[in-house]
Copies of this chain bind each other. A is one copy, B any other.
Amino acid sequence: MSGKTVLITGATSGLGLATALPLAEQGAEVVTVGRDRTRLPIEAPTTEFVVTTSQERTMPIRKAEAEWKGNLVEGAGRLKLGSGAFEGPYSFKSRLEEGQSATNPEELIGAAHAGCFTMALTAQLSQKGITPNRIYTIARVQLDKIGDAFAITRIELQTEAEISSIDDTTFQAIALDAKQNCPVSKALAGTEIHLTARLVNSR
């Protein structure tokens, strides 16, 4: 990254900081924008911090599509991700019965949640200068019938992390924070979220 200049907004903490540090370590000139110079972390000596009125970068809006033809039980649906990474069928049967090869909304919620939690955990580790070898997370999403209505009543996140330079107490605290504060966890405020986190090979 030597000779390159990178502008990062909101780089005094969180994802912004986790992005700034490795780039700076690789020799990039990192120019960051934040609202509070006092939050500049002392461990970022190679980074030049420009403090201005906040002007956050434009965040992408993500799209997905659903189509349905016919009635509930005999009809058929299709789902498509905006990136084009996946398009495929879903149905009443694939949603409520076991052993189906078609997708369903609950496992998509699970993938979003497992993915978001795992990235948030990685972000927090990276912010501390720790690089995980591997993090593996399963999400289990429970659809229940409460009276006559369906509801997602519980999501279980189960994560295993191979990290060579962290103690379990620090790891558990970071994992809990990632569970509570990753964007998908915060959005899923209407359901219970449980976490089991295991450090596989600490030093």
Q: Which residues of A contact B (CB under 8 A)?
A: 9-10, 12-16, 18-19, 22-23, 56-57, 59-75, 77, 79-86, 88, 90, 92, 94-98, 100-119, 121-123, 125-126, 131-145, 147-152, 181, 183-184, 186-191
On whether the beta carbons of A73 and B107 are closer than 8 Å, the reply is: no
Q: Pick the contact of A81 from B73, B83, B103, B113 — CB < 8 Å?
A: B103
Cβ A108 vs Cβ B112 within 8 A: yes
**B18 and A72 within 8 A (CB):** yes
B residues within 8 A CB of A71? 18, 22, 122, 125-126, 131-132
Q: Please determine whether A150 and B72 come into contact, CB atoms closer than 8 angstroms.
A: no
Identify whether the interface residues of A are mostly helix, strand, loop, or mixed: mixed
Residues on the B chain within 8 Å of A62, using CB: 104, 106-107, 109-110, 140-143
How long is the Cα–Cα vector from A33 to B125 in the complex, in angstroms? 51
A118 in complex: contacting residue of B60, B77, B139, B142, CB < 8 Å: B77
Residue of A103, A108, A152, A191 ringed by the most chain B CB atoms within 10 A: A108
Which residues of chain B have C-beta atoms less than 8 A from A115's C-beta?
Answer: 66, 77, 79, 90, 104-105, 108
Residues of B contacting A106 in the complex (Cβ-Cβ under 8 angstroms): 60, 62, 112, 183
A118 touches B67 (CB 8 A): yes
